[in-house]
């Protein structure tokens, strides 16, 4: 492990807007070196106000989390990733900009129902995740029925799920899979969002990976679904 990564991991421990889970077998969160219980209490304990919560899953550097927080100060945003060195960049930017409505969580997505209570989350963004093109890894795709069953545990009834991707295979898989789920309503789907005026203003947020994909001539795809969560 590089010295730079070790330094970032050490700094994460000092960031008041970062929560970390170091052992998936023991689903506990640590903030500023102390164990904290956040399930059902994010608005009360961290944000200090009752407002809708949006999660960005596999957030990487947190570009979507940061920009959404800037644009919508009346909402709360949490970027989640397992890679601490990536998370560090977004968390540091949020602190520098004093974005009080942005926080970051380092853990595996399979564990999120340990850290959020039923109906605590209003919205989920999945931005340019690993498409896992091999069929044998279909359950690892973040838009798969496997993960939707996890999201159900924390998403409010009627909560939104957004997928933004450059991968044809992931877009087609998601569209087909979501159409088979009775309690999931596909509100919008487009396999080339920039070929026409954007239907939703937040789609113009471009991550590091999106900029890279666009330079390669790839088309950006988007699906918006409403999940009637069962609790």
Q: Pick the catalytic residue: 74, 122, 130, 166?
A: 130
- Catalytic residue check, 130: yes
Cβ-contact 24, 111 below 8 angstroms: yes
| Rounded Cα gap, residues 131 and 7, in angstroms | 30
Residues labelled catalytic: 130
């Amino acid at each position: 492990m590089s010295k730079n990564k070790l330094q970032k991991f050490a700094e994460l421990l000092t960031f008041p807007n970062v929560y970390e889970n170091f052992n998936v077998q023991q689903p506990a969160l640590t903030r500023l070196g102390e164990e904290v219980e956040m399930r059902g209490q994010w608005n009360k304990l961290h944000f200090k106000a009752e407002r809708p919560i949006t999660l960005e899953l596999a957030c990487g550097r947190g570009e979507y989390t940061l920009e959404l927080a800037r644009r919508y100060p009346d909402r709360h945003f949490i970027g989640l990733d397992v890679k601490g060195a990536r998370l560090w960049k977004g968390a540091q930017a949020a602190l520098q900009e004093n974005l009080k409505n942005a926080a970051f969580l380092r853990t595996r997505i399979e564990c999120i129902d340990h850290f959020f209570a039923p109906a605590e989350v209003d919205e989920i963004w999945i931005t340019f995740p690993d498409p896992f093109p091999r069929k044998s890894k279909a359950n690892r795709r973040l838009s798969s029925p496997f993960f939707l069953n996890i999201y159900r545990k924390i998403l409010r009834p009627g909560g939104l799920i957004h997928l933004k991707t450059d991968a044809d295979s992931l877009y087609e898989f998601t569209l087909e899979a979501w159409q088979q789920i009775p309690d999931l309503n596909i509100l919008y789907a487009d396999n080339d969002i920039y070929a026409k005026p954007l239907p939703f203003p937040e789609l113009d947020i471009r991550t590091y990976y999106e900029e890279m994909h666009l330079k390669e001539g790839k088309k950006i795809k988007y699906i918006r679904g409403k999940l009637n969560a069962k609790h």
